[in-house]
Amino acid sequence: MTAKTITVTLKKSTIKCNEKQKATVRGLGLRKTGTSKTLENTSAVRGMIKKVIHLLDIQE
pLDDT band for position 3 (cuts 50, 70, 90): low
Say if CB 56 and CB 9 are below 8 A apart.
yes
How many alpha carbons fall within 13 Å on the CB side of residue 54? 6
Tell me the pLDDT tens digit for each residue of 5-39. 999 999 999 999 999 999 999 999 999 999 999 99
Name all domains of the chain by residue range, CATH numbers in brackets.
5-59 (3.30.1390.20)
Say if CB 32 and CB 7 are below 8 A apart.
no
Q: What are phi and psi of 7, to 5 degrees?
A: -105, 125
Q: Is the pLDDT reported for residue 1 higher than 70?
A: no
